[in-house]
Amino acid sequence: MEVIRGVRQMQEKALTVRAAGRSIALVPTMGFLHEGHLELMRVGRRLCDVLVISIFVNPTQFGPSEDFDQYPRDEEGDLQKARDVGVDLVFIPTAREMYPEGFQSVVHVERVTQGLCGTSRPGHFDGVTTVVAKLFNIVGPDVAVFGQKDYQQLTAISRMVTDLNMPIKIVGVPTVREPDGLAMSSRNKYLDQEERASALSLKKSLDLAERMLAEGETDAGVVRQAVESLILEHPHTRIDYVTLCDPVSLEEVTRLGEETLLALAVHVGRTRLIDNRVIRKGTPGPPEGEGAS
């Protein structure tokens, strides 16, 4: 496994790989790797000849009051995990390398970034799409792999690739969960024991909505109210948003259709967590007290 820190060096390496007729899969990450990231890498490993990951905590997608400085980092541990899963190349640039003096260009995706996290994190998705566009230009992947836990991010990147005619296949991988059902996230480390128990309300609320739809409830307002009540029954929770929307356009709906995205953002203590599920008519909800990951 080779570690590359310079943009030019990464571009030259990628050009060499492609000149040899080998395909490239890219998994962009912000590091502090967990099993969710590793699953994305396994998917990329199966799809292409060469697997590249990036590790870069991107400052432009953090707001002024967010946790950029505190965001967990563990380069040594990340490199060992990447090596174990079969990564070929690891790109670890600095912020100055990615955003040199005078940098002033932004990739902006319009409508799908407006609601959900876009409401409470203004500018966040401009930071995401800009850095991902840069990574695509630097690495030149045939395939890029992202997690469905960050559903709006995946949607925005897919829209960008389609709109800008980027010759890259975007692959979304289902959310990987802890044994107790909590969606894996680097921010889970911030939770103490009591907050961790309350964080399970996100997964429980997804299960509840699925059961309600299976039992015939299609009024989005009724489902949303039930979900919010369940979450707020748990201590340390504060809802950022509970949204039922079209899974393609991300526009809010008043009635649940054949497929409806339920997306959540909840502060548990000082930690902001997100989760989501596309719930479908005709899909039995999990029994009370249970739930598939």
Q: Is 108 a catalytic residue?
A: no
Residue in 34, 37, 236, 267 annotated catalytic = 37
Structure-token match 């054949």, residue found: 258
Which structure tokens are listed for 198?
A: 């309350």
Residues labelled catalytic: 37
